Chain A
């Protein structure tokens, strides 16, 4: 069974440029998470989807960040425009949605904004 797939693995952009990250969760997992991980910190939730519905986006900076999961499967996280402080690792995770299930993480996208 394939794990959570993320692309790209690394991205370097100049500030004010747009950037997009893609995530394909484990097949059958209806819950999808996007996390932000700063250097030396634990993951912080940005947004959580149950199928195609964003059920928790309270930590998503909506002035520059957006996300979508149109068909309830893969998801895209976008930043426009990027700022220097957005440099971090963006992790995607998925779970099957029941309260006992754990999350399975992708390898992350490491973003560097210059």
Chain B
């Protein structure tokens, strides 16, 4: 079984400061990893994904994430946040074997960027 833990439910940060949103997962099989962003009253939008290869993944809007297999983590980072980054961020995993197309989501982290 797979599960995703996002330890921080809310993260306030000042504009232009760096931010890290944490994600840990538990899985008995190898997984693909994803970060999604959800702006108010909108659906989820893919930020970035790790499938294989380099453990440092770069996504849209200046975000990046690093896959750490030994720590089963996939933390999201941005060196300098903007007001427009205020949103809900979800980490998700999907089994990499073709056992089904099911995704498992964390409970989300609400990022608030303070002017």
Residues of A whose CB lies within 8 Å of any CB of B are 4, 6, 31, 33, 40-45, 48, 50, 55-56, 91, 93, 95, 97, 99-108, 110
Question: Interface size for chain B: under 10, 10 to 19, 20 to 34, or 35 or more residues?
Answer: 20 to 34
A56 touching B100, Cβ below 8 Å: yes
B49 touching A31, Cβ below 8 Å: no
Known contacts A100-B32, A100-B51; is A43 also within 8 Å of B45 by CB?
Answer: no
A48 touching B107, Cβ below 8 Å: no
Provide the residues of chain B in CB contact with A43, threshold 8 Å.
44, 90, 105
Q: Chain B's nearest CB lies how many Å from the CB of A19? A: 19
Residues of B whose CB lies within 8 Å of any CB of A are 4, 9, 32, 34, 36, 41-46, 49, 51, 90, 92, 94, 96-98, 100-103, 105-108, 110
B90 touching A42, Cβ below 8 Å: yes
Can you list 24 residue pairs at the A/B interface with Cβ under 8 Å?
Answer: A4-B43, A33-B103, A40-B107, A42-B92, A43-B90, A44-B105, A48-B102, A50-B101, A55-B100, A56-B100, A56-B102, A91-B43, A93-B44, A97-B101, A99-B97, A99-B98, A101-B101, A102-B49, A105-B36, A105-B44, A107-B42, A107-B43, A108-B42, A108-B43
B107 touching A105, Cβ below 8 Å: no
